[in-house]
Structure 1
Amino acid sequence: MTEIGRGATSEETFYDAVGGEDVFRRLVHRFYQGVAEDPLLRPMYPEEDLGPAEERLTLFLMQYWGGPRSYSDNRGHPRLRMRHVPFRVDRSAHDAWLRHMRSAVDDLGLSPDHERQLWDYLTYAAASMINTAD
């Protein structure tokens, strides 16, 4: 709990606790550096420039973890599974996605508790996107 004025308190969000926007931008930028070179994942991003996809994921993660609601303000409800239906997401894609995300998370240097909390969510999210049997 952090103090806000005299006697008022508020829960600090994960977003604030780990460093806010800068941390999420670094995470997602590092992740997309890996995606750009990945022969399995890169074709899932039809845009020549990965910048728009990078921005969408950044805004989504910032909102999910308690930051600004820019993602929903611009795109509506996340509907993550629906947005991934056009793409073949099998166990191999899942593993590749997590491999690049693991590298990105490791580069952040978060505290062990924050790292575990973020990684637990990312592994859950990756598993829930699988839409094709191997």
Structure 2
Amino acid sequence: MTTPPPGAPVLPGATPSFYDQIGGRPTFARLVRRFYEGVAQDDVLREMYPEEDLGPAEERLLLFLEQYWGGPGTYSAHRGHPRLRMRHAPFHIDPDARDRWLRHMRDAVDALELAPLHEQVLWDYLDRAAHAMVNTFERR
């Protein structure tokens, strides 16, 4: 079963996607923008982003999260399968980097002021994903 495009009418009895339930693109764009504001100020995480401008990374995360949560499939159309662990393998992601990532993402999630159930669902995923990206226990 495919998810209808954002803004499409929801048929009676159908459940809107999580993406639509929490406000679609504007909500995810606010989340990602706030997160990267924190990353820009973080000396450990910032060095993992080779671009001078964090804009391309911000766009990639936005597209990924939109697709994951039932929004448009633009991420896969442009970048293929997410392969998150493979794409993050070149970076030194130790528990400190994970915790910094989570700290900035926690701030971003809190800023959305979602309903408690939506906040918990989103946070559970982000927390699991961050732990899954750890690829070394060697300190810098």
How high is the TM-score relative to the length of structure 2? 0.90
Structure 1: 5+ residue stretches without partners: none
Take 2:113 and 2:132, find their aligned partners in 1: how far apart are those partners? 26
- Over 3 Å counting, the alpha-carbon distance change for 1:11 and 1:36 in structure 2 is same
Gaps of 5+ in 2: 1-8
Deviation at 1:11, TM superposition (A): 2.0
2:23 counterpart residue number = 19
CA distance in 2, matches of 1:77, 1:61: 13
1:48 counterpart = 2:46 = no
* 1:3 Cα deviation after fit: 5.5
Residues 91-122 of structure 1, C-alpha deviations (whole Å, 9 max, x = no match) = 00000000000000000010000000000000
CA distance in 1, matches of 2:10, 2:49: 44
TM-score by length of 1: 0.94
How much is the aligned-residue C-alpha RMSD, in angstroms?
1.1
Q: How big is the shift at 1:10? A: 2.0
SS at 1:40 equivalent: helix
Quickly say closer, same or farther: Cα 1:27–1:47, change in 2 above 3 A. Answer: same
In the alignment of these two chains, the number of paired residues is 130
